[in-house]
């Protein structure tokens, strides 16, 4: 029994069935700080401390504070203890996040000692940061006037400044901002808590420090402790800080919209696209309503279900009506539950602003007819089942530590003075809604919250070619004027300030400061690797990989079809085939009926092309069909899989166009938020045939294919040919001689589904597998893709295999490169939001930057990497840190489903348990010399590399001599 320190009083306790935890709420008597302790046997312990941080304008103070507290504190005075910590910790999660009204600091680890180290550094960071006396922290993390030489152009620089410039460049981010302002003009939600590039430079050191002292106080904090942890120790750590404070008046801030009759608001705005680009069909239309507040839990859950009903699939009534009207290419939206006020919204993309009346009429008509005629019962049942399945799966998921998810969930209403327990008990609410649905609950919800609700806004967002370049120019002019007005002394002052900041960035921390950061010792590290059981069975004569694990009764079943004999010219078409299956009618069902049937009986059926690469550079593509369902629905799952892959009817042009549009939209979203992945994959694709294949499945090649197909399909004859092609491909692929199965779940579950899978086999044709196609030829090259972005994503990739084998030492080196070299050169000095490297088992070394203002300088920094490594002099404790960091990526807890995936991937790539053990031993025994010796190999690797930049058109033009090809993305 843990003893909770005296200063904390138990307020309330419950057992929460849905998350299988004993939940106790404690109050720290001196300050009123609240602590929610969720006790259970999950080894992945989590800690989250949250503060209410209401923004009062757009200067980003909450966000900059979030960054800056992690830049040194009283006990841990090095420049970035946070970075030191992730370098050498076994954490499963470390982050800090600013929301519209709160800032949270979550950490998680499966190792108790590591966990308390993380908590210690985080508590000192939030309560005792160094930025009160060190004004360079605001300059570094927030913004500063950057002027290395008097003759240079004056610019703004700073981590958050650049981050937000990237984050707010997209149309979607712009819509978010407009929505908050239009719906909630009298609350804090009208502000951009992340900060806007225009306002960030108005933040002064004084306002910055004030904000921290006002809000980072125990009385304004909410803490969540979760899992199988040493509670006495964790509460003791809290006391150490909380006990130094006294109670402060609770902070109130305006979260409630005014109680008045709201009139609909119409907003007209523009976003930037590349100069010279056509504006046709590039507008966005959004309609948003204020629907509820965080203290209405039942409505909150009901609105999630309503989102599923109205917009959950292409056949959902609202989405379908808008798509069928032919006024736009993609529809998305739903219930937004981040702050106290919750909007519901629907956005039409790839449209023109003059379609706004039609857009509003269609929405109105859909709602009216649903209210008058009622929502079909099975649509409601399917939506509720889909949500229940998702919640059930979260409880066994590991992709994000559960303790962190539950922390964020409880804050959803706890932050506003409600009970923290409520949001963690969802089953009872769902049951209640199931019953209420029969009495017209959801129809009334549509009527009251949407149809008759005048607290609404309609936003027209039109494309404006060259807007961001124009704004950038205006800013440079403004800064030029400002510079011209400065006196000699002031100019010298700025140069001096820039110089000292650069010096700070380049000066390593004092070893004695670094030594203060708590770390693990070698003896805390385990040398063992958890094995995953894998059994090989056969169903009739077809092989099955069976991963017998506890999955809370969920069956994870897949079919792999070997497609290595299909022509390389068809790769993108096969990928599109995988995207349209499930989105077209079948012999038995319309699309709407199919979606409903899938949602009622399963947790989803997905099809995709998967490329399995071997270490020798060969690869094999598969067409994979994945399904999951509760075990009692196994028969239904297999029936639906059979129906989709064998009886889909392809002759439905509008459905296929919808899928193409939604894929194009998805890819463009990816470029807006995760373009480093796009540029990195592209760079590797010029080196490895298997990744070149993947480009045609999901990369830039696939995007170009879809764009071309979209215009080709306007011709009906071309469409008929496509239908024929899909039919031929489906007929060729789904053959019994090409298939094998995988299954993750208990042995009993497998035995139950096996006869059904056997039956499925008998329905397949038996076309033999022919000879494999030739591997796609590749040559290293340097490419740039221009798009309407303010920032760049700079990637470089090379093959190291010819110079050194894949090893544990490389994994440790990769950690050194990330946290030592790239962090300092690309992020701290270059001003990019992030940068990472990767070494893979198939011999690829990749470097990629994220939201990077530079191109050339980044390549230069990449090129200097081998030299840096050759001069590396790491002391033993430093090497140990990097070893621990490398282990933490090997040790990430995996859900049963993910363990199943891993075991199957290992089998397909001929990776053995011993390979994993060996890799771990190599990591554990890495020395400083081992790392230095890799410098040469890395040098050769980078000499023969390929490079890809996705980014700002003007910046790419300025650097076009660096590339073999410069192309336009969008």
What is the contact surface with Zn ion in residues (CB under 5 A)?
A: 163
Q: What are phi and psi of 844, to 5 degrees?
A: -105, 140
Shortest distance, position 80 Cβ to Zn ion, whole Å: 14
Among residues 162 and 679, whose Cβ is nearest to Zn ion?
162
Shortest distance, position 853 Cβ to Zn ion, whole Å: 15
Among residues 94 and 461, whose Cβ is nearest to Zn ion?
94
Give residues with Cβ within 8 angstroms of 249, minimum separation 6.
Answer: 219
The two tokens of residue 341 are 């006020």
Among residues 163 and 701, whose Cβ is nearest to Zn ion?
163
Shortest distance, position 387 Cβ to Zn ion, whole Å: 31
Among residues 633 and 833, whose Cβ is nearest to Zn ion?
833
The two tokens of residue 207 are 């306002």
Give residues with Cβ within 8 angstroms of 569, minimum separation 6.
Answer: none
The two tokens of residue 284 are 């966005």
The answer to whether 885 touches 89, Cβ cutoff 8 Å, is: yes
The answer to whether 461 touches 178, Cβ cutoff 8 Å, is: yes
Shortest distance, position 146 Cβ to Zn ion, whole Å: 19
Shortest distance, position 192 Cβ to Zn ion, whole Å: 12
Shortest distance, position 141 Cβ to Zn ion, whole Å: 9
Pairing assessment for the beta strands 739-745 and 542-548 based on DSSP bridges: parallel
Shortest distance, position 70 Cβ to Zn ion, whole Å: 10
Among residues 49 and 609, whose Cβ is nearest to Zn ion?
49
Q: What are phi and psi of 548, to 5 degrees?
A: -80, 100
Among residues 96 and 118, whose Cβ is nearest to Zn ion?
96
Among residues 159 and 534, whose Cβ is nearest to Zn ion?
159
Nearest alpha carbon to residue 667 among 700, 638, 644, 689? 700
Strand pairing partners for 850? 834
Q: Which CA distances in Å does 893 have to 25, 110, 254, 528, 887?
A: 28, 8, 40, 14, 12
Among residues 663 and 789, whose Cβ is nearest to Zn ion?
789
The answer to whether 783 touches 947, Cβ cutoff 8 Å, is: yes
Shortest distance, position 254 Cβ to Zn ion, whole Å: 25
Among residues 200 and 598, whose Cβ is nearest to Zn ion?
200
The answer to whether 112 touches 45, Cβ cutoff 8 Å, is: yes
Give residues with Cβ within 8 angstroms of 341, minimum separation 6.
Answer: 183, 184, 187, 189, 255, 256, 257, 290, 293, 294
Among residues 80 and 163, whose Cβ is nearest to Zn ion?
163
Among residues 163 and 878, whose Cβ is nearest to Zn ion?
163
Among residues 141 and 695, whose Cβ is nearest to Zn ion?
141
The CA angle 345-421-104, to the nearest 5 degrees, is 65
The answer to whether 653 touches 719, Cβ cutoff 8 Å, is: yes
Shortest distance, position 129 Cβ to Zn ion, whole Å: 16
Give the count of alpha carbons within 13 A of 793, CB side only: 24
Instruction: Give the orientation angle of helix 377-396 with respect to helix 297-311, to 10 degrees.
Output: 110
Among residues 118 and 200, whose Cβ is nearest to Zn ion?
200
Shortest distance, position 67 Cβ to Zn ion, whole Å: 6
Give residues with Cβ within 8 angstroms of 728, minimum separation 6.
Answer: none
Among residues 338 and 396, whose Cβ is nearest to Zn ion?
338
* Residue 803: count of CB within 10 angstroms of its CB: 18
Tokens 């979607």 map to which residue? 172
Shortest distance, position 160 Cβ to Zn ion, whole Å: 6
Distance CA 538, CA 547 (A): 13
Shortest distance, position 103 Cβ to Zn ion, whole Å: 11
* Residue 271: count of CB within 10 angstroms of its CB: 23
Tokens 């590396």 map to which residue? 872
Nearest alpha carbon to residue 589 among 643, 652, 553, 521? 643
Shortest distance, position 831 Cβ to Zn ion, whole Å: 13
Among residues 114 and 163, whose Cβ is nearest to Zn ion?
163
The H helix count followed by the E strand count for the chain is 35, 27
Distance between start and end Cα atoms, the chain: 61
Among residues 70 and 923, whose Cβ is nearest to Zn ion?
70
Shortest distance, position 63 Cβ to Zn ion, whole Å: 6
Among residues 636 and 676, whose Cβ is nearest to Zn ion?
676
DSSP summary character for residue 6: T
* Residue 531: count of CB within 10 angstroms of its CB: 10
Strand pairing partners for 629? 555
Shortest distance, position 872 Cβ to Zn ion, whole Å: 29
Distance CA 549, CA 37 (A): 29
The two tokens of residue 410 are 């409880």
Shortest distance, position 163 Cβ to Zn ion, whole Å: 5
Distance CA 309, CA 333 (A): 12
Q: Is the dihedral of CA 161, 166, 169, 175 positive or negative?
A: negative
Among residues 138 and 760, whose Cβ is nearest to Zn ion?
138
Three-state SS for 213? helix
The two tokens of residue 122 are 């985080």
Shortest distance, position 305 Cβ to Zn ion, whole Å: 33
Q: Tell me which residue has its CB nearest to Zn ion.
A: 163
Shortest distance, position 215 Cβ to Zn ion, whole Å: 17
Three-state SS for 472? helix
Rg value, the chain, Cα: 28
Distance CA 165, CA 163 (A): 5
């Amino acid at each position: 029994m843990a003893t909770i320190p005296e200063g904390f009083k138990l307020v309330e306790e419950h057992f929460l069935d849905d998350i299988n935890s004993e939940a106790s709420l404690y109050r720290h008597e001196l300050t009123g700080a609240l602590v929610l302790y969720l006790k259970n046997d999950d080894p992945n312990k989590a800690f989250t401390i949250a503060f209410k941080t209401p923004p009062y304008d757009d200067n980003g103070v909450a966000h900059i504070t979030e960054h800056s507290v992690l830049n040194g504190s009283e006990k841990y005075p090095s420049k970035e203890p946070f970075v030191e910590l992730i370098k050498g910790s076994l954490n499963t999660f470390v982050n800090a996040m600013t929301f519209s009204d709160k800032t949270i600091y979550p950490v998680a680890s499966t190792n108790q000692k590591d966990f308390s180290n993380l908590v210690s550094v985080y508590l000192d960071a939030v309560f005792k940061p160094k930025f009160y006396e060190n004004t360079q922290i605001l300059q570094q993390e927030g913004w500063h006037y950057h002027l290395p030489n008097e003759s240079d152009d004056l610019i703004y620089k700073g981590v958050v400044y650049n981050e937000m410039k990237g984050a707010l460049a997209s149309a979607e981010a712009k819509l978010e901002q407009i929505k908050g302002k239009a719906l909630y003009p009298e609350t804090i939600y009208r502000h951009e808590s992340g900060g806007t590039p225009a306002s960030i430079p108005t933040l002064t050191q004084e306002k910055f420090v004030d904000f921290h002292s006002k809000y980072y106080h125990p009385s304004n904090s909410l803490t969540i402790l979760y899992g199988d942890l040493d509670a006495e120790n964790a509460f003791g750590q809290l006391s150490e800080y909380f006990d130094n404070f006294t109670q402060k008046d609770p902070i109130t801030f305006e979260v409630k919209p005014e109680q008045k009759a709201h009139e609909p608001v119409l907003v007209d705005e523009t976003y930037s696209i590349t100069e010279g680009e056509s504006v046709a069909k590039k507008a966005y239309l959004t309609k948003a309503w204020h629907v509820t507040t965080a203290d209405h839990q039942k409505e909150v859950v009901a609105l999630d279900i309503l989102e599923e009903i109205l917009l959950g699939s292409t056949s959902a009534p609202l989405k379908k009506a808008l798509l069928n009207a032919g006024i736009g290419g993609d529809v998305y939206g739903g219930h937004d539950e981040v702050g106290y006020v919750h909007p519901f919204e629907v956005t039409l993309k790839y449209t023109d602003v003059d379609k706004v009346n039609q857009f509003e009429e269609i929405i109105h008509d859909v709602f009216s007819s649903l209210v008058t005629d009622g929502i079909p019962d099975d649509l409601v049942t399917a939506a509720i089942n889909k949500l229940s399945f998702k919640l059930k799966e979260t409880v066994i998921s590991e992709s994000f530590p559960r303790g962190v998810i539950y922390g964020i969930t409880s804050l959803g209403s706890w932050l506003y003075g409600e009970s923290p327990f409520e949001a963690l008990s969802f089953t009872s609410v769902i049951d209640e809604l199931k019953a209420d649905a029969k009495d017209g609950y959801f129809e009334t919800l549509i009527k009251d919250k949407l149809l008759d609700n005048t607290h609404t806004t309609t936003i027209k967002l039109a494309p404006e070619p060259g807007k961001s370049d124009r704004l950038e120019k205006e800013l440079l002019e403004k800064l030029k004027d400002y510079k011209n007005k400065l006196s000699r002394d002031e100019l010298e002052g700025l140069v001096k300030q820039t110089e000292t900041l650069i010096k700070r960035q380049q000066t390593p921390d004092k070893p004695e400061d670094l030594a203060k950061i708590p770390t693990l010792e070698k003896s805390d590290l385990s040398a063992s690797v958890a094995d995953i059981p894998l059994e090989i069975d056969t169903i009739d004569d077809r092989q099955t990989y069976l991963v017998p694990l506890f999955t809370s009764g969920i069956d994870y079943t897949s079919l792999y079809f070997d497609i290595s004999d299909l022509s390389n010219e068809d790769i993108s078409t096969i990928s599109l085939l995988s995207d349209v299956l499930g989105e077209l009618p079948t012999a038995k069902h319309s699309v709407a009926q199919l979606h409903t049937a899938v949602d009622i009986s399963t947790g989803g059926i997905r099809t995709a092309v998967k490329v399995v690469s071997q270490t020798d550079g060969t690869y094999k593509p598969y067409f994979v069909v994945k399904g999951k369902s509760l075990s009692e629905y196994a028969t239904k799952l297999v029936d639906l899989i059979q129906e989709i892959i064998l009886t889909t009817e392809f002759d439905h042009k509008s459905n296929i166009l919808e899928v193409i549009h939604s894929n194009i939209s998805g890819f463009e979203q990816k470029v807006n938020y995760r373009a480093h992945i796009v540029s990195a994959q592209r760079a590797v694709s010029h080196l490895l045939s298997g990744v070149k294949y993947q480009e045609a499945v999901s990369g830039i090649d696939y995007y170009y294919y879809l764009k071309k197909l979209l215009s080709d399909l306007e011709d009906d004859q071309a469409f008929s040919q496509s239908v024929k092609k899909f039919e031929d491909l489906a007929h060729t692929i789904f053959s019994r001689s090409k298939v094998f199965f995988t299954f993750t779940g208990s042995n009993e579950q497998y035995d139950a589904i096996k006869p059904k899978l056997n039956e499925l086999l008998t329905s397949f044709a038996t076309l033999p597998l022919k000879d494999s196609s030739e591997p796609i030829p590749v040559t290293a090259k340097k490419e740039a893709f221009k798009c309407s972005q303010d920032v760049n994503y700079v990637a470089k990739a090379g093959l190291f295999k010819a110079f050194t084998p894949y090893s544990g030492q490389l994994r440790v080196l990769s950690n050194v490169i990330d946290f030592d070299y790239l962090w300092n050169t690309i992020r701290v000095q270059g001003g990019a939001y992030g940068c990472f490297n990767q070494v893979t088992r198939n011999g690829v070394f990749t470097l990629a930057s994220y939201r990077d203002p530079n191109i050339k300088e980044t390549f230069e920094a990449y090129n200097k990497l081998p030299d840096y490594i050759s001069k590396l002099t790491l002391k033993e404790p430093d090497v140990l840190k990097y070893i621990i960091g490398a282990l933490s990526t090997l040790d990430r807890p995996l859900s049963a489903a993910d363990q199943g995936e891993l075991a199957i991937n290992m089998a397909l790539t001929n990776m053995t348990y011993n390979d994993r053990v060996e890799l771990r031993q190599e990591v554990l025994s890495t020395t400083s010399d081992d790392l230095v010796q890799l410098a040469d190999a890395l040098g050769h690797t980078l000499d023969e590399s390929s490079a890809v930049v996705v980014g700002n058109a003007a910046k790419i033009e300025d650097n076009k001599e660096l590339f073999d090809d410069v192309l336009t993305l969008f």
